[in-house]
Every structure is written in C-alpha cells, then in structure tokens.
Amino acid sequence: MGPNTDGWLEDTRTSYDTVAASYADLTRHLLDETPEERAVLALFADLVRAQGGGPVADVGCGTGRITAHLRQLGVDAFGIDLSPGMLEVARRDHPGLRFDLGTMTDLELGDASMTGLVAWYSLIHVPDDEIGSVFAHFQRAVRPGGLLLLSFHVGGESRLKTEGYGGHPMKVHVHRRQHGQLMAWLDDAGFAIESHRTLTSAESKLGGIILARRQATAPR
C-alpha cells in the first residue's frame, strides 16, 4: 500500500505558505548552476515560437523563477500556484508578471487555450491516484499539437518530508517516479512523447525530463 496522502492538497498549500521566503532564497539561482535544464527550457521556448507563440502556463510555479526565465526567453508565460504565500513572493520578485492562484487538480484554463504548459518539479506531491485527473486537465487546456514539459524526481519510492527550506516545518509526500510510469499516464491522457532524459544537477540528484505534445485525437 502507498502512503496515506489524505488532505495532501491542503498540506501542500500550508507547507509552502510556511517556507515561501526561504524557498525563494534557496532556489533563486539554481538555473545558474543547471546548464542542462537551461538548454531544455530554451528548446521548449524555441518550439513554442515555432508554433507561432501564444500563452504558456507554468503550473505549480512556486516563487516564479521558471516563469520569469521563460519570459526572458521570449515566451508569453504566466504562473499558477496553490500557495498564496509562494505567489506573494513571486509577485514581489517578478513585478509585472502574471501569477494566478489555482490548482492543477482543478485547472481554470479554457479548453485548448494554451500553446504550452510546464510542470517543473510540481507533480512531485501529487498522489498516483490523482495523476490521471491532472493530466486530463493538462490535455484539455493545451491546444492540439501544443507542448507539455515535465520535470520530476526519478525513483520508485515516496517519503514524507517534515522539514525543509531553512528548517521550517512541512508535511508533504515527495513521490519519485520512473519515466515509463509517467509516459504511460501521458499516453492515456492523449499526449505523444517527443523526448525524455535523466540528468543529475543542482535541481535534483536524479531528475527526469519529459517533453510531450498533445495529440489531435481524443484520448482513449
């Protein structure tokens, strides 16, 4: 049996409200240390531009560092997060950018309204039994042929994190997953895998990247 994740959404919100300021300080410069992730994000930006541009949602944006980086790459990106505390820091650190309160489990985006969607290490707290619903929201929001970029911790276990980001208390399950598992879920949701890879960097000791594209046909 897997971990008891009842109340995981509220636990995640409360935890990241608590650590928001410390999280921003500790992660603000990570992309400076992660050239492979920068290359992936640059490729994603190139592919978005090749489709003629359009809006891109950074779902689970936290304090907005990936949203801001995508904007620097010329992408019309905005952020969505469930934590008001994280969004307060994002708006402080990146004035003029758009950050909305919301959750990937109830994504308030119009059908086929996004050219692309990014979930950068933001699926790691979502239980297995919620992933299918989350990917269904992603598929609905991204236009046919649009892009989905995921990053995640690679592994096969889940653990309860009770402290983090400056020693503040947290209560979140961190789920590590294999490429094959996520790619099967994406296939079920109507996405075609473009590429995937595993890497080691300041972002994650063992991180996974998946680039997928929404298929024109409806999922099975």
In the chain, where are the structural domains located? Answer: 8-214
Q: What residues have CB less than 8 Å from 63, skipping those under 6 apart? A: 20, 23, 24, 27, 28, 86, 89, 90, 93
pTM of the model: 0.94
DSSP 31: G
pLDDT digits (tens, 9 = 90+) for 109-142: 999 999 999 999 999 999 999 999 999 999 999 9
Q: b/e map of 151-169 (b: 16 or more CB within 10 Å)?
A: bbbbbeebeeeeebbeeee
Measured CA to CA, the distance from residue 151 to residue 201 in angstroms comes to 12
CATH number of this structure's domain 8-214: 3.40.50.150
Task: State the pLDDT at residue 2.
Answer: 47
Task: State the pLDDT at residue 133.
Answer: 96
Measured CA to CA, the distance from residue 70 to residue 102 in angstroms comes to 20
Minimal CA–CA distance to 112: which of 209, 218, 194, 186? 218
pLDDT digits (tens, 9 = 90+) for 57-88: 999 999 999 999 999 999 999 999 999 999 99
Q: Name the residue type at position 173.
A: H
